[in-house]
Structure 1
Amino acid sequence: MHMADLGDVRLHYRIDGPDAGAPLVLANALGTDLRVWDGLLPHLPEGLRILRYDMRGHGLSDCPEPPYSMGALVRDAERLMEHTGFHDAVFVGLSIGGMVAQGLSAKRHDLVRAAVLSNTAAKIGTRQIWEARIAEVETGGVESIADAVLERWFTRRFRASEEFRPWRNMLTRTPTKGYAGCAAAVAGTDFMTPTSGLRLPLLGIAASEDGSTPPDLVRETTDLVPGSQFALIRGAGHLPFIERPAEYAQVLTDFLKSQGHI
């Protein structure tokens, strides 16, 4: 268990893989913590040095008073990578983590050599939608929105399985202030202009049953970047590496190989 003191916030993080491995950063979704990637790691090739972390307000990281800005979340990732010595990395961002990936890619070319935008977009939803969700969470806690969120996250078949329960627990145990804080960051973000200016290798990953960031939305953002690649994973929702870990790992591995990163 490692904590990085970044001054205004302390972030919980984990590093897996050899010290000299190719750097890979994984940034996860609103309402999840770094454990969300556990099932993917065994499917990835050896030789990667993988950094995962709990976003502020999530997992074991500090939970400052909301709201948070996307700029703060990008700075958190930036300072954590500097703290851990992760430079020239491939940054994989899921959902809100994909927004962080876009912001960091535009800001720090020395830290991010290539980006993977998974189940995300330059703009997700509207400010009104997010403000309504924040109000509901502040009144009834994350539990009050859990069922609706999980319908978008997972297929009906997965939600009926024994594997589903831990993910519901992860979501509902997210601190109210942390969820509301990060939701405010999403509400205030529109990266259409900065993302369209990116000139780095980029892969967009979408899932056919994703109710939060449907494939067309992910593709629209991916297409903003010239020369980008796009992959669609069928039979999965917003967190495709949970329902289809081997397929997701293959898509990611192929991209890493195409960039000479492994």
Structure 2
Amino acid sequence: MGEIFTSLQGEGPLLGRRQVFVRFSGCSLGCSYCDTRAYLRRTESCQLEAAPGSRMFIRIRNPLSVDMVIECVKLHAAPEVHSVSITGGEPLEQPEFAETLAGELKSLGMRVYLETNGFSCDLFSRIAEHIDIAAIDVKLPGTVRCSRDQSDRLIENELACLRRSSEMGIHTIAKVVVLQETGERDLERICREMPSVDAIVIQPATGQCMSELKLLALHSIASRHLGADRAMVIPQMHKALGMM
């Protein structure tokens, strides 16, 4: 486990909702735009925020049990909390722990928000019954350091996760991070193959300056395939606000 804290959701259509974040450590992908590089590898300890919004942290040595994580989440529980965000790193790289944690949170009446890169539809399917909201990345070619064949297999799994999530009635968000060099054809191909989702978020990589013309063009592609009411361009607002 990497850290447990309270903040406001800074990405996508749930922007501004208060969440308790449970961040897993460890991710095998090497995305060029990763903003949580400190958690690409497993960490020796977990940072627990002592009180919501305090930014005062207590270090707890890993590994934490599911029961310990639940108790940490309870410290941050409040009526204004929208949901618990299971994020990373990559939660699906610890599937048994993630599945048990999500199930326990759900049994306590908490809404569960999963953020995943969707690298394995099989692993996603194991946890899906416990998820209320799924934000699933779709990694466009060139954003992950891997071969084209590996990139194609990753995208196939991500699209399968979106399809599975939608079929199960989970509120499904597709997130597509775009770079300056992102081609319209790559997004066109993805949108053409994407199943119906509740929202598709085009997220400009933080720190990159893109023209309004380009963003409008990318938004038009997403709108044409998935609907204008579901397509949106939203940057990482928590970065702009200096929040976790």
**Which TM bucket (shorter chain)?**
0.3 to 0.5
Q: Which has the higher strand share?
A: 2
Higher relative contact order (CA 8 A, sep 6+): 1
Q: If the length of structure 1 is used for normalisation, what is the TM-score?
A: 0.39
Q: Which has the higher helix share?
A: 1
